[in-house]
Structure 1
Amino acid sequence: MSKSDVALSVRPLDVDTWPAFARLVEANNGVWGGCWCMGFHVKLGKDRTAAQNRDEKEQRVREGRTHAALVFADDECLGWCQFGSPEELPEVKSRRLYEKGLTSLPEWRITCFFTGKGLRGRGVADAALGGALAEIARLGGGTVEGYPEETDDRKVSGSFLHTGPMAAFENHGFTRTRPISPHRWVVTRTVNPA
């Protein structure tokens, strides 16, 4: 059986899965040069280091203040989908246009996706999004927002799809609410409690 034939499973980011998450991040240059998936928690500036981002992410994991659905093949973490409340993830892209059309905050935001180098094309993002929605249901459900990139009419580098591709969200029942950039939308869906 090849590595790409291994069944995928999804687990939440917590103290038990942190080591597998950290291995994947470290194998991929800290994710986008050292973000450590902190970019929607805090404003990332030139004064922040990758080590600081790593330490703060691990602290948030220990305190239960960060959420992600991690996708595994056996014990190897392949990627994830980060989600959380607006208080947990206050930073959004295209903020001015986002706030211009805002009528009320959602209970949950799905902010970013990551799949490790050489692991794309295996359904990791789709599995991660499904896992995030299942975890949101387990945590009480509510209105969920995402901010995917529309790619139907153009070729887009995977590094620009950190907020996810539109097709993945639409496949999971999200509807387009309003555009917030030429190719990015706010999409919403209600998730019932589990």
Structure 2
Amino acid sequence: MSDVTILPATPERFADVEHAMTGGGDGAGCWCQWWTLASSRWKSTSREERRELLRQEIESAPPPGLIAYVDGVAAGWVRVGPRLSQPRIGRSRTLKASPTPQDDPSAWAITCFVVRREYRRQGLNELLIQAAVDHARDHGARVVEGYPIDLSITRVSSNDLFHGALSTFEAAGFTEVARPGASRPIVALTLA
């Protein structure tokens, strides 16, 4: 792979977030707000409103995500943050199967990936996971969860891979802690 740098999504990098989000997949429609909004609010917001919500999130601390740069070009995004800042996790029947208490402020989650089409299949998601774990650790996380898809059981479109693949999380050291659905494990990494 080329030279890869992963940096926090900060206000001065919002144009880079936009570039990463608009290179294919559903990034430009969701703007990584699915996990932060109640269903009724999600349905009532426009793409532009979701973009503005993400911009506002990025102005707060800690940053809600990281940007992967390949040779200086914004190529990918990962959302990582406290589970409590992503309230839809606690409302999901599937994700409630987590053995970590839903109200644990030290539990963080990696919930969304976007990689521009021209940078896919180059290992960016694994690098993003590793950087997300470091980011979570630096901000006091005790455990980091992920909610990937087990591609050995089902095949999905690249748009539906925004959760990440189980094999990628496992390669980054995560272990399965629950399996609420046949192809939907919950994985976790406890931080020292």
Shorter-chain-normalised TM-score: which range? 0.7 to 0.9
Question: What is the correspondence of 1:33-182 to structure 2 with a 5 Å cutoff?
Answer: 34-44=29-39, 45-64=42-61, 66-92=63-89, 95-99=92-96, 102=99, 104-105=101-102, 107-182=107-182
- Structure 1, unaligned runs of 5 or more: none
1:140-173 deviation per Cα after TM superposition (whole angstroms, max 9, x unaligned): 2311111010002443321111111001111111
Closer, same or farther: CA 145–27 of 1 in aligned 2, 3 Å:
closer
Answer whether contact 1:148 1:163 (CA < 8 A) is retained: yes
Please give the per-residue CA displacement for 1:39-87, whole angstroms capped at 9, x wherever unaligned. 1111353321001001111011112264212110132111122111122
Percent identical among aligned pairs is: 22
Measured after TM superposition, the shift of residue 20 of structure 1 is 0.7
Aligned residues of 1:35 and 1:53 also touching (Cα < 8 A): yes
Bigger helix fraction: 2
Task: Assess, with a 3 A threshold, how the Cα gap between structure 1 residues 137 and 46 changes in structure 2: closer, same or farther.
Answer: closer
Say if 1:69 and 1:129, in contact at 8 Å, map to a contact too: no
| Distance (whole Å) between structure 1 residues aligned to residue 109 and residue 174 of structure 2 | 12
TM-score by length of 1: 0.86
What is the CA–CA distance in structure 2 between the aligned matches of 1:10 and 1:174, rounded to whole Å?
20
Could you tell me which amino acid in structure 2 is paired with residue 115 of structure 1? Answer: V
Q: Which amino acid aligns with 2:72?
A: D
Count of matched residue positions in the alignment of Structure 1 and Structure 2: 187
Residues of 2 paired with 1:30 and 1:152: CA distance? Answer: 23
**What RMSD in Å do the two structures reach over aligned CA positions?**
2.2
SS in 2 for 1:180: strand
Structure 2 gaps of 5+ residues are none
Decide whether the 8 Å contact of 1:37 with 1:57 is kept in 2.
Answer: yes
- Normalised by the length of structure 2, the TM-score is 0.87
Counterpart contact for 2:141–2:191, Cα < 8 Å: yes
- Residue 186 of structure 2: SS of its match in structure 1? strand
In structure 2, relative to structure 1, the CA distance for the partners of 1:20 and 1:165 (3 Å cut) is same
Tell me, yes or no, if the aligned pair for 2:78 and 2:112 is still in contact at 8 Å: yes
